[in-house]
Structure 1
Amino acid sequence: MAAPVEDHEIVDSSFTAIINAPIEKIDIPNWCFALSEHEYQGCSPAHIAAGFTTTPDGKRMSINVEIIGGSLMVQHYVETLGRKDHLILESVSDLFTPTGRTTIHVHWELSVKAIDSRRCEFTNHVRSWATKEFMAFFERQGIPFEVLRSQRQPMSIAHKKGETPLFAASIERAALRN
């Protein structure tokens, strides 16, 4: 997996929502890797498609397709931590812009903590960084990184803010079915 350019963070956003289910019934990795395309699409108008597979070494992978800020993204999220209450996924995502294709490194972390015996707080935390390919792609076009970051941040943050309560509701439905 291509390493992010650490000093070129694009977005760090985190939002929370309440899940009305006991923590014992929640299994975020099970939800993520069994999420139907229809359920994924219901979590944001920007969500196009979802599926899951495995990497060549057997790690679980969630494939998500969405449009953020007019750019199509194909995310290849590989599970790096998979506990019932905490899932961390890493992706070098394909980013299709009006001027061509590049990549972006995305770290997606989903977690829950009990509020009481019947409710949990869900956190949807996303960080993204430019890859070396991303930096070179936009440098060839004469677009400074700070301009890209200032344009991408509000769109990405708005997307996460909108999908967080809908992800929480989807996780709640899955928990209450179990």
Structure 2
Amino acid sequence: MTDYEIVDSSFTATINAPIEKIDLPEWCFTLSEKEYQECSPAHVAAGFTTTPDGRRMSINVEVIGGSLMVQHYVETLGHRDHLVLESVSDIFTPTARTTIHVLWEMSVKAIDSERCEFTNHVRSKATDEFKSFLNRQGIPFDVFRAQRQPMSIAHNRGETPLFAESIERAALKNEAVNRSPG
């Protein structure tokens, strides 16, 4: 773990759909707010837009450990089976607003011709702004990290199988659309 890494959490779940039917960027950048909310009780809102230079961005709002987070996930790698998103996320705490850096990586690999393994990997680290935020309050980084990790890990553990189910529904819907006549 690096000096200012907050969490490095990875979980897997099975998707009951062939890998060729899965398109992670398509799923991510068309995910409805309702579908996003169904993937975790901590999920508040979701939408998508583009950065000023035209890159796709997923906006996610969630509450983890009592802190409201607004994540501005910019696509840095977008393949059907591998999606990497990066965000300098706003965190609203009872004492102030600050930021953390989050790297969200999703991938799928075939288990067999009808199933895939989905991996949901989330890493976060302190920004300089966040380090100053903790210093102003006299909170040692290690203490913050020790308190934050269990909440972030539990959140990822809970949302991973629900994301997998959502991706599966999207893949099977795509399959049904592709099979329908006309």
Q: Where on the TM-score scale, by shorter chain, does this alignment land: which range? A: over 0.9
Residue of structure 1 equivalent to 2:137? 141
* CA–CA separation in structure 1 for the residues paired with 2:102 and 2:81: 20
Report the Cα distance in structure 1 between the residues aligned to 2:139 and 2:147, rounded to whole angstroms: 11
Residue in structure 2 matching 1:42, options 32, 38, 43: 38
Q: Does 1:51 align with 2:43?
A: no
- For 2:106 and 2:49, the matched residues in 1 are separated by 19
Structure 2: distance between partners of 1:158 and 1:98: 22
Task: Supply the AA of the counterpart residue of 1:61.
Answer: M
Q: Secondary structure at the match of 2:73?
A: strand
How much does 1:81 deviate?
0.1
Runs of 4+ in 1 over 4 A off after TM superposition: none
Q: Secondary structure at the match of 1:88?
A: strand
1:114 aligns with 2:114: no
The within-5 A match list for 1:24-173 is: 24-173=20-169
Structure 1 unaligned spans of 5+: 1-5
User: What secondary structure sits across from 1:160 in the alignment?
Assistant: helix
Match of 1:139, SS? helix
1:125-144 deviations in Å (ceiling 9; x for gaps): 00000000000011000000
Give the Å deviation of 1:7. Answer: 2.7
Deviations 1:68-118 (A, max 9, x none): 000000000000000000000000000011111000000000000000000
Q: Which amino acid aligns with 1:103?
A: T
- Count of residue pairs brought into register by the alignment: 173
Name the SS of the counterpart of 1:154 in structure 2.
helix
Q: In structure 2, what is the Cα distance between the partners aligned to 1:152 and 1:40?
A: 23
| 1:161 CA drift (Å) | 0.1
Q: TM-score w.r.t. structure 1 length?
A: 0.96
**3-state SS of 1:127 partner:** strand
